[in-house]
Amino acid sequence: MHFLDQAKIFIKSGWGGPGAVSFRREKYVEYGGPDGGNGGKGGDIIFEAVAGLNTLIDFRYTQHFKAQRGQPGMGKNRYGAGGDDLVVKVPVGTQILSDPVPIAGTEDEEDGSMEYEQELLADFTQVGQRIVLLRGGDGGRGNLSYKTSTNRAPRQHGTGWPGQEMWVWLRLKLLADVGLVGMPNAGKSTLINQITNTKAKVGAYAFTTTKPQLGVVLHRDREFVLADIPGLIEGAAEGAGIGDRFLGHIERCRVLLHLIDATGDDPVQAFRIVQDELAAYGGGLDEKPQLVVLNKGDLLGPELMEDIAAQLRDEAGVEHVFIISGATGEGMPELLDAVLPLLDEGVAQEEEASGEEDKPWSPL
């Protein structure tokens, strides 16, 4: 299945049905009076988060969503049926944003460009979460409702209120417990293949991974979801290599694993670049608990690996740098052992922040 994490769609709720103009006509009833019923309400546009979806690819082929119009009223004071609501199903983790609008006073005098902002309309973090984004129009009044003491036979009626319409952007941010970050060709795909059932593409070149990957890790009878995003390059937070979209997929992770290629030209500089991009992106990414992991330990000698790890400890200000090999699995148990308590701390902090005793929603 193709992965798509952003889509623009048009939505329109249903118009209300028109009211009826009708008069009672029965034998032996000379002046029956008006009996036109009201029109039915138009259908709503409803968004619902459902399980089993992890991409917005369906919205590439269907981009217009219109709810049904309400039925017209009828004689004998019969109301029209309401239009059917249209339920748009989206993956958990989807955000709905308004169409971008220019920010006043941000126009560039040289090229005329402006800054834009979007309003967050909805954020789906739980299966079954629903929201009525656009309400259908009310039905028009039938001529019976216009009857007064001075107007005994009204012929006017309501045509029905119009529905609402707008363009919105859908943006998917994957929900995972642990996020895997690093420079291109750091070995992230090899690592996720080693500890999960994911079959991510592996290659000896940069940008082998071109879309986010999810995998379930089972360790010591515990399960958690690991997200692998494509490699980050300098300027990713500003959109270089669409890195800003990739970083969005790890905003909700509780723990980050920063993977560094020990065979790279400058592992310490690679660490700095990714850290700078996390800080520049915002969203608290640079404040999340993070484990520094030195990969490809099977390709260099123990003394050289320890020397590089010592440099990273000084640069990152951490007591321990994990030395692993994604290809052979060396060092994996120790790394996963360190992840579990950090996940527990993250759950406890979320419960404290929400003030709820119930366990927060998990991707599993």
pLDDT at residue 357, as a whole number: 46
d(CA 58, CA 70): 27
- 207 or 125: whose pLDDT is higher? 125
Residues 131 and 191 in one domain: no
115 φψ region: left (φ > 0), alpha (ψ -120 to 50), beta (else): beta
Residue 185 marked ligand-binding: yes
Structure tokens at 269: 């500089």
Residues 339 and 194 in one domain: yes
Q: Write down which residue in 172, 201, 218 finishes a domain.
A: 172
- 360 located within any domain: no
Residues 89 and 205 in one domain: no
Residue 231 marked ligand-binding: yes
Residues 14 and 154 in one domain: yes
Segment 243-256 mean pLDDT:
80
- 199 located within any domain: yes
Q: In the β-sheet with 130-134, what is the strand arrangement from edge to edge?
A: 86-91, 45-50, 130-134
Which residue do the tokens 């003394």 mark? 303
pLDDT at residue 112, as a whole number: 75
Residue 96 marked ligand-binding: no
State the CATH number of the domain containing residue 214: 3.40.50.300
12 CA to centre of own chain:
21
Q: Does position 140 have pLDDT exceeding 50, yes or no?
A: yes
The total number of structural domains that make up the chain = 2
Q: Among candidates 9, 89, 11, which has minimal Cα distance to 49?
A: 89
Least confident span in 13-17, 26-30, 95-99, 135-139: 26-30
Residue 143 marked ligand-binding: no
Residue 209 marked ligand-binding: yes
Residue 296 marked ligand-binding: yes
The C-alpha angle 102, 106, 111, rounded to 5 degrees, equals 95
In sequence order, the 6+-apart residues with CB closer than 8 A to the CB of 1 are: 55, 57
d(CA 23, CA 77): 9
Residue 354 marked ligand-binding: no
Residues 231 and 132 in one domain: no
Q: Write down which residue in 154, 172, 190 finishes a domain.
A: 172
Residues 49 and 99 in one domain: yes
Residues 39 and 103 in one domain: yes
Q: Write down which residue in 144, 172, 200 finishes a domain.
A: 172
- 324 located within any domain: yes
272: domain range?
178-354
Residues 158 and 238 in one domain: no
Residue 308 marked ligand-binding: no
